[in-house]
């Protein structure tokens, strides 16, 4: 054993650079030792008095963000034309669906079917991450899961192209069937891929003090703020992809046809596996450790048998007669407790996503009933990513540091609450717009009917109000949710906790399916108003139930990481050798 440790220490650097394989040592992390990086750890007094800043972001994070840009270009570029493809009829003398000066369309199924199918697509895309998380943790690992997901998504893209070909699109029922098959395959790929890339990024876990070169000010580099920065720019790249995809595809749909709107995203998506392959040796890749969900639930059930301080009572060091499944350490109990608190925070998110979800269907349909002045009705939604692209850097470089200088801790839970309120206000504005469409349009309360050829005399750009407000709510609520899931989960449960967060979006889509009866004239004012009320109530209940957790933010972020791996197929026959600067796992 001592020989093995000696060989591991002497070859640590070479091992870290070696590619992964079944026969080689596996690098679980390659973080620098917290004691040899030249930076001092802050004292308790310094934690209270010194300003906190974000650390630098490694270049590998930007390659992952670029892959997400490509994937989101393909996703949003494809889904941007779904509403018109399903709802609007094929234009006269067109076999491609291109509307040119008129309205683009294909299947002519109406707004209710369009809203139902687009909502179902969102539901499916946010349910499949749960399956992807289980497969990644139990069997394949995250990297292989991503690779298989890419294959499914590519096939889904190809099937959608087939559904939009001129020879197929003229047969609406056949095209619809092919389209639905494409959605299913597409959703499986999205679910296995979705935000699993963030786990390839190494997370710095300790605070340290540095002196700013320009001012000489001593500041604390806070890992939590570094993660906030990473996810802000991660979301920034997502919205660059979203913006480019939606704008290009909408004009491709309008002037060429739906087939081109599905071909271009497929080409862009093909860049994803190429970048991942080229950079594969620079990512933090962990093997499947086996699903620890069962142990987490057993731990919780075991803890419930105790008193109010049950988490302390069920730590292995405090249990005299340990169950056979209790193979973890005390630190993992603290991490599971933290993860469960995070999951409880996410339980209110479906009421937020209801407001966000209006962008992908009802607001697009609303735009078609207003004066477009030559602009495609589904181009207006791009106000949302444009706002995000402009203001995410401003939030990172100006707003958040400015709030820190004022001595205010704008914690994740406070940001989430602000997002709920902005989402509620955005839906109030959408309801007001819909009210005036009904009041001023020649078609009264039925402007969406096929027989209505005259739009309401309202400029479509008034929709900037709800779209911009939703964008700001995303900065505070959506981005922070991804960050919260990433930072609060144990290392061997990150896929699961992230998937639970995403599942809240799926649950919201299921609720939205129940509201499709309101997604038609003359009930759309009630639709937006009801969603506004739900978002407002949900945000306030969220704060009432979790505001005490806000005071524990620093404590939760500073928990020491557990060394517990799990007992999955590849974790059973390994042993850990600790080397300063790395954790190496050698196979026996």
| Distance (Å) of CA 135 to CA 105, 130, 294, 327, 507 | 38, 9, 14, 22, 21
Cα–Cα distance, 224 to 261 (Å, whole number): 39
324-347 confidence digits (pLDDT tens): 777 777 888 888 888 888 888 999
Q: How many angstroms separate the most distant Cα atoms in the chain?
A: 86
The burial of 192, by beta-carbon neighbours within 10 Å (0-12 exposed, 13-18 middle, 19 or more buried), is given as: buried
Q: Which residues pair with 106 in a beta bridge?
A: 89
What pLDDT does residue 33 have? 40
Is the backbone peptide bond immediately before 522 cis, with ω within 30 degrees of 0? Answer: yes
What pLDDT does residue 305 have? 60
Contact (Cβ atoms closer than 8 angstroms) between residue 458 and residue 436: yes
Taking Cα atoms as reference points, which of 356, 354, 360, 268 lies closest to residue 84?
360
Integer Rg of the chain from CA: 25
| Distance (Å) of CA 62 to CA 114, 149, 175, 428 | 36, 21, 39, 37
Cα angle at 377 between 373 and 380, to 5 degrees? 95
What pLDDT does residue 47 have? 72
pLDDT > 90 in the chain, percent: 30
Contact (Cβ atoms closer than 8 angstroms) between residue 242 and residue 254: no
What pLDDT does residue 514 have? 82
Kindly report whether the global pTM for this prediction surpasses the value 0.85: no
Instruction: Categorize the per-residue pLDDT at 310 as very low, low, confident or very high, splitting at 50, 70 and 90.
Output: low
Both tokens assigned to 157: 């893209």
Q: Is the pLDDT of residue 312 over 90?
A: no
What pLDDT does residue 200 have? 57
Q: Is the pLDDT of residue 444 over 90?
A: no
| pLDDT (average), residues 527-541 | 95
Q: Is the pLDDT of residue 518 over 50?
A: yes
What pLDDT does residue 207 have? 73
- Of 260 and 491, the one with more pLDDT: 260
What pLDDT does residue 206 have? 66
**Residue 206, helix vs strand vs coil:** coil
Q: Where are the domains of the chain?
A: 41-288+330-562, 289-329+563-578
Instruction: Categorize the per-residue pLDDT at 146 as very low, low, confident or very high, splitting at 50, 70 and 90.
Output: confident
Both tokens assigned to 533: 């009320």
Query: Which residues, including other chains, have CB under 8 Å from residue 221's CB and lie 6 or more apart?
Result: 39, 52, 53, 54, 55, 207, 208, 209, 210
- Alpha helices for 474-583 (secondary structure H): 479-488, 494-514, 524-546, 553-557
Cα–Cα distance, 557 to 205 (Å, whole number): 8
pLDDT > 70 in the chain, percent: 82
Taking Cα atoms as reference points, which of 450, 457, 449, 426 lies closest to residue 529?
426
Cα–Cα distance, 487 to 479 (Å, whole number): 13
Both tokens assigned to 546: 């979790």
The angle, 0 to 180 degrees and rounded to 10, between the axes of the packed helices 223-255 and 479-488 is 140
Q: Is the pLDDT of residue 475 over 90?
A: yes
Taking Cα atoms as reference points, which of 176, 147, 144 lies closest to residue 159?
176
**Residue 262, helix vs strand vs coil:** helix
What pLDDT does residue 195 have? 55
Instruction: Categorize the per-residue pLDDT at 270 as very low, low, confident or very high, splitting at 50, 70 and 90.
Output: very high
Contact (Cβ atoms closer than 8 angstroms) between residue 240 and residue 69: yes
Instruction: Categorize the per-residue pLDDT at 70 as very low, low, confident or very high, splitting at 50, 70 and 90.
Output: very high
Where does 354-476 show beta strands of DSSP type E? 370-371, 456-459
41-288+330-562 is classed CATH 1.20.1250.20: yes
Sheet containing 52-53: order of strands: 52-53, 218-221, 208-211
Cα–Cα distance, 193 to 351 (Å, whole number): 25
Q: Is the pLDDT of residue 11 over 60?
A: no
Q: Is the pLDDT of residue 429 over 50?
A: yes
- Beta strand pairing call for 370-371 and 582-587: unpaired
Both tokens assigned to 291: 């699903």
17-54 confidence digits (pLDDT tens): 433 333 333 333 333 344 445 677 777 777 777 777 77
Cα–Cα distance, 288 to 455 (Å, whole number): 56
- Of 292 and 318, the one with more pLDDT: 318
What pLDDT does residue 472 have? 96
Both tokens assigned to 516: 């499709």
Going by the DSSP 8-state scheme, the letter that residue 374 receives in this structure is: T
Cα–Cα distance, 566 to 286 (Å, whole number): 12
Contact (Cβ atoms closer than 8 angstroms) between residue 486 and residue 227: yes
Average pLDDT, rounded, for the chain: 80
Query: Within 13 Å of residue 257, how many CA atoms lie on the same side as its CB?
Result: 19
Cα–Cα distance, 450 to 399 (Å, whole number): 47
- Beta strand pairing call for 582-587 and 574-579: antiparallel
Of the candidate ranges 52-66, 82-96, 310-324, the one whose mean pLDDT is the lowest: 310-324
> Which of 244-253, 368-377, 426-435 has the highest mean predicted lDDT (pLDDT)?
426-435
Both tokens assigned to 380: 């207006």
> Which of 274-288, 328-342, 503-517, 529-543 has the highest mean predicted lDDT (pLDDT)?
529-543
What pLDDT does residue 356 have? 92
What pLDDT does residue 506 have? 84
Both tokens assigned to 579: 């080397």
169-216 confidence digits (pLDDT tens): 989 899 999 999 999 999 999 887 765 566 555 555 567 788 778 788
What pLDDT does residue 7 have? 45
Both tokens assigned to 535: 């978002």
Beta-carbon neighbour count of residue 90 at 10 Å?
21
Both tokens assigned to 429: 């504005």
Q: Is the pLDDT of residue 387 over 90?
A: yes
Q: Is the pLDDT of residue 323 over 80?
A: no
Going by the DSSP 8-state scheme, the letter that residue 526 receives in this structure is: H
What pLDDT does residue 16 have? 36
Query: Which residues, including other chains, have CB under 8 Å from residue 496's CB and lie 6 or more apart?
Result: 133, 134, 137, 291, 293, 489
For the chain, the helix, strand and coil percentages under 3-state DSSP, each to the nearest 5: 65, 5, 30
| pLDDT (average), residues 488-493 | 78
Taking Cα atoms as reference points, which of 397, 349, 376, 361 lies closest to residue 542?
349
Q: What sign does the dihedral 75-77-80-82 (CA atoms) show? A: negative
**Residue 534, helix vs strand vs coil:** helix
């Amino acid at each position: 054993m001592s020989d093995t440790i000696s060989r591991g220490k002497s070859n640590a650097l070479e091992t870290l650079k070696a590619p992964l394989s079944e026969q080689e040592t596996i690098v679980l992390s390659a973080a620098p030792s917290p004691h040899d990086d030249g930076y001092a750890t802050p004292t308790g007094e310094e934690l209270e008095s010194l300003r906190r800043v974000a650390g630098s972001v490694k270049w590998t994070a930007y390659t992952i963000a670029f892959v997400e840009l490509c994937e989101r270009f393909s996703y949003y570029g494809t889904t941007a034309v779904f509403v018109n493809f399903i709802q609007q009829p094929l234009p006269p003398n067109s076999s491609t669906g291109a509307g040119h000066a008129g309205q683009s369309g294909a299947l002519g199924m109406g707004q209710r079917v369009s809203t139902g199918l687009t909502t179902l697509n969102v539901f499916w895309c946010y349910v499949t991450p749960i399956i992807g998380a289980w497969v990644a943790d139990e069997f394949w690992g995250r990297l292989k899961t991503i690779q298989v997901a890419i294959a499914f998504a590519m096939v889904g893209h190809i099937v959608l192209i087939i559904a939009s070909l001129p020879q197929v699109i003229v047969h609406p029922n056949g095209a619809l069937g092919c389209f639905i098959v494409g959605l299913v395959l597409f959703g499986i790929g999205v679910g296995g891929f979705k935000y699993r890339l963030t786990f390839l990024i190494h997370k710095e876990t300790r605070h340290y003090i540095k002196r700013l070169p320009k001012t000489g000010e001593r500041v604390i580099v806070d890992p939590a703020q570094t993660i906030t920065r990473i996810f802000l720019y991660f979301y920034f790249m997502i919205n660059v992809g979203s913006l480019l995809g939606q704008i290009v595809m909408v004009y491709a749909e309008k002037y060429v046809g739906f087939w081109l709107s599905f071909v271009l995203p497929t080409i862009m998506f093909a860049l994803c596996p190429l970048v991942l392959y080229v950079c594969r040796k620079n990512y933090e890749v962990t093997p499947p450790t086996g699903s620890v969900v069962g142990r987490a639930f057993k731990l919780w059930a075991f803890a419930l048998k105790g008193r109010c301080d049950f988490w302390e009572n069920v730590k292995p060091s405090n249990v005299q007669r340990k169950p056979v499944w209790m193979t973890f350490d005390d630190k993992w109990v603290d991490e599971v407790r933290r993860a469960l608190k995070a999951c409880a925070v996410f339980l209110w998110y479906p009421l937020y996503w209801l407001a966000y979800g209006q962008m992908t269907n009802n607001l697009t349909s609303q735009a078609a009933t207003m004066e477009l002045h030559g602009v495609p009705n589904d181009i207006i939604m791009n106000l949302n990513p444009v706002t995000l692209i402009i203001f995410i850097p401003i939030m990172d470089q100006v707003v958040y540091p400015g709030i820190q200088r004022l001595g205010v801790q704008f914690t994740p839970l406070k940001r989430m609450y602000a997002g709920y309120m902005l989402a509620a206000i955005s839906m109030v504005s959408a309801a007001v717009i819909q009210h005036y469409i009904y009041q001023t349009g020649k078609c009264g309360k039925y402007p969406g009917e096929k027989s209505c050829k005259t739009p309401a005399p309202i400029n479509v750009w008034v929709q900037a109000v709800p779209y911009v407000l939703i964008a700001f709510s995303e900065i505070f609520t959506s981005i922070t949710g991804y960050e919260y899931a990433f930072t609060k989960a144990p290392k061997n449960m990150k896929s699961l906790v992230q998937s639970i967060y995403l599942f809240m979006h799926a649950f919201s889509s299921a609720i939205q399916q129940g509201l499709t009866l309101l997604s038609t004239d003359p009930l759309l004012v009630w639709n937006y108003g009801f969603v506004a009320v739900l978002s407002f109530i949900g945000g306030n209940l969220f704060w009432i139930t979790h505001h005490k957790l806000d005071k524990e933010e620093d404590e939760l972020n500073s928990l020491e990481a557990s060394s517990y791996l799990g007992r999955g197929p590849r974790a059973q026959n390994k042993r850990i050798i600790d080397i300063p600067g790395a954790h190496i796992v050698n196979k026996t």
